[in-house]
């Protein structure tokens, strides 16, 4: 074996480097010893086929452990160099199981390859679908809220029931958006809360996963998006809970929001990665198709827990109100133009006139899924739920009532 001509220069450079950083290396000595023991247990070796005097008939097998202490001490330095190249991804370690023994060998060095991902190969259809629906709901609700504000300020002149305006999301969502779209938006919230954000970070010539957590503000906002499920549960149960509905809906909303946010903050979703290489033959022995690892960024079980939190919050608050308010008087139903949720959540306390006739300000009428337009002596009301147009002649007697009653829509005369 020929002596390397720059061997003296290499050792001189090593000596200068270790002398300068000797204090740092002393702190790393226990870790280095532990690493060496782990590598020796793996029994990683390098092999060479040696030929003497160009005699191909006399081929010798040369094998040496990369950290073989029984060999010359200078070999340890090169063994650590091999380990470093393995750590940064320039070499691989393969294990070959034979009939007699198992060989764990270090590969030759390979240069890193830079590859640009093809965006067309990254599936984004589902994300775009859910993101589009979320954007649609947001824009639609903003537009509908602006219409409610126009009715309240310019049409009604402020003569509206203020408590009804607090139900904008709950009423507009079901009447104008629809349950199907709201379910999709709720699924998006479940998706965000129960998925880890995974990024690929460059580490030397290799890469590693990094999972930055959601900020606490993002967790609280995402938890609030899950309240659409609460609204749907309230809407479905309102024909059963009836007069108890206005008492428990807010409590169920706050309880579900609180539990979901605390759960997500205290036990955030983390990704799970496992390494297990499995290979299948492709076209007999033409090639191998291998799967090396599995990375899970989402958790279906956590999403189920979020749904359980919502259902439990609604059930507990509804049953509690029924238990603690056993003598609550059922409401009469004087109109069939309102949904069950709208009728039991809207406040009619100060909107009775001419006996027990119910009036509703035009902003609340829009919240309930009806568009009202006044033209001369007639009021036209279009019900988007039934796709029907109603009209009635404005009664001069209404002008004798309070101004807010005169501007309101008599529900008993519509339909």
Greatest alpha-carbon span in the chain: 122
Average pLDDT over residues 135-163: 92
pLDDT in tens, 233-250: 999 999 998 889 999 999
pLDDT in tens, 315-340: 999 999 999 988 878 777 777 888 88
Other beta carbons within 10 Å of 309:
22
Q: What is the pTM of this model?
A: 0.72
Whether the Cβ atoms of residue 346 and residue 368 lie closer than 8 Å to each other: yes
Provide the pairing of β-strand 352-353 with 357-360.
antiparallel
Tell me which residue has tokens 């859910």.
Answer: 130
What percent of the chain is predicted at pLDDT more than 90?
Answer: 22
Query: Can you name the residues that pair with 289 across neighbouring β-strands?
Result: 280
**Phi-psi category of residue 53: left, alpha or beta, with phi > 0 → left and psi -120 to 50 → alpha:** left
pLDDT in tens, 399-408: 666 777 888 8
CA distance 46 to 231: 66
């Amino acid at each position: 074996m020929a002596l390397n001509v720059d061997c003296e220069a290499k050792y001189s450079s090593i000596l200068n480097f270790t002398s300068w950083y000797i204090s740092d290396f002393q702190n790393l000595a226990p870790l280095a010893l532990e690493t060496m023991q782990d590598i020796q247990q793996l029994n990683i070796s390098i092999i060479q086929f040696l030929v003497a005097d160009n005699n191909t008939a006399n081929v010798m097998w040369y094998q040496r452990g990369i950290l073989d202490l029984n060999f010359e001490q200078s070999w340890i330095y090169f063994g650590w160099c091999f380990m470093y190249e393995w750590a940064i991804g320039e070499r691989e370690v393969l294990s070959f199981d034979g009939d007699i023994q198992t060989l764990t060998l270090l590969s030759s060095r390979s240069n890193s390859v830079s590859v640009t991902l093809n965006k067309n190969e990254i599936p984004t259809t589902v994300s775009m679908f859910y993101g589009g629906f979320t954007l649609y709901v947001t824009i639609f609700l903003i537009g509908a809220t602006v219409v409610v504000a126009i009715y309240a300020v310019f049409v009604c002149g402020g003569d509206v029931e203020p408590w009804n305006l607090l139900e904008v999301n709950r009423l507009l969502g079901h009447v104008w958006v629809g349950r199907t779209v709201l379910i999709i938006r709720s699924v998006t919230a479940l998706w965000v809360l129960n998925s880890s954000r995974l990024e690929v970070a460059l580490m030397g010539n290799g890469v590693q996963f990094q999972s930055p957590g959601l900020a606490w503000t993002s967790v609280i906002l995402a938890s609030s998006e899950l309240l659409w499920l609460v609204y749907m549960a309230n809407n479905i149960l309102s024909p059963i809970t009836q007069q108890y509905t206005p008492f428990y809906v807010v409590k169920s909303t706050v309880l579900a929001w609180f539990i979901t946010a605390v759960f997500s903050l205290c036990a955030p979703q983390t990704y799970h990665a496992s390494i297990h290489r499995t290979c299948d033959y492709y076209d007999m022995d033409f090639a191998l198709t291998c799967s090396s690892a599995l990375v899970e960024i989402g958790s279906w079980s956590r999403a189920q827990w979020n749904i359980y939190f919502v259902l439990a919050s609604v059930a507990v608050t509804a049953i509690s109100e029924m238990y603690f308010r056993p003598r609550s008087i059922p409401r009469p139903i004087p109109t069939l133009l309102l949904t069950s949720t709208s009728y039991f959540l809207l406040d009619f306390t100060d909107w009775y006139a001419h006996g027990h006739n119910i009036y509703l300000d035009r902003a609340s009428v829009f919240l309930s899924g009806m568009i009202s337009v006044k033209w001369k002596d007639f009021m036209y009301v279009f019900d988007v739920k039934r796709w029907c147009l109603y009209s009635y002649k404005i009664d001069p007697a209404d002008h004798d009532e309070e101004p807010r009653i005169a501007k309101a829509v008599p529900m008993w005369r519509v339909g």
